[in-house]
Structure 1
Amino acid sequence: MNTPVSAVDILPYEPAHQAAFRDLNHEWITRYFVLEDLDRRMLDDPQGYILDRGGYIFMARHNGQLVGTCALVYEHEGVYELAKMAVTPAAQGLGIGYLLGQAVINKAREIGAREIELLSNRKLAPALALYRKLGFAEAPLLPSEYQRSDIRMVLAL
């Protein structure tokens, strides 16, 4: 049975969330891939790598526990990346990823972004379905620091 979305709070990131941000992402990345240098930089220093550069991070809380996260990373003028979306397996299927995605999209619109892009991997079918539900469409893959990326998706705002 699905949990009502009212039972989930989407919170702005604060420094006390750093361990949860790291652990949630580490959990899914190492389940499917290996941690790459760019992952380590973002996860070890989200303040310096994401927030101080003009980005945002959101956390999802369910039953008092931080169970999900998603970042909006500044790329260049008007363009941001949806990155580091993670929901712990025990909380998957509750619509938390969708709520996090909506929070990122709403923030991007609020700050005047014109486009959000993301990089993913085709073997992550549930994630790709979520991104399509949020309005993202496949776009040409550009060179990336990530070895695991084999698909790029874009949402024009």
Structure 2
Amino acid sequence: MIKTLALLYLVFWLILLVLGSFVSLNFILSSQVAFFSSLLILFATFKSYQRRVNARMRDDKDEILAMQKELDDEEEEEWGEQDSQYKQGEDVKEFSLKNEKERLKKQKIKLKDLNLTAAFVPYRLLAYAVLILGFLVLKRKEMLDIAGILIGLAPMPIGAFLFGVVSKNVK
């Protein structure tokens, strides 16, 4: 999977180099700064989410097991009650989509559920700083080509989209 993604971005990098050789040196420099900055941002984002998921799995493992045990106990009690109600001829409450929607509307969204901590990871902030710094250095040296920056940033979302389509078709 990672090899396919790396190969895809290698092809994009080579296309940028070939395209830049026909345009100008400023285009090549701008597109390369943008391309490698966006790769750095992608890598930092991936690592931050990977760490977050691993930490959450480690922390929530016991909680999940306890919740599963609790759910199993509740389900066992519920089935026992339903069996006794059926034996007595009483009506049993059935699951209703309407009741479930009402229950979900009553749930409050907490700040910790908004996932704001993933946005402020130092590695990601550093990666964005590299992009901004590269932009400013190119501007200061009067070598900035806006089209080169935009075209250098474009392979990242295009590559992610193509990788998603290719990996979905492979499965």
Q: Verify same fold: TM over 0.5.
A: no
Larger-gyration structure (1/2): 2
Q: TM-score, normalised by structure 2?
A: 0.19
Q: TM-score, normalised by structure 1?
A: 0.20
Q: Which has the higher helix share?
A: 2
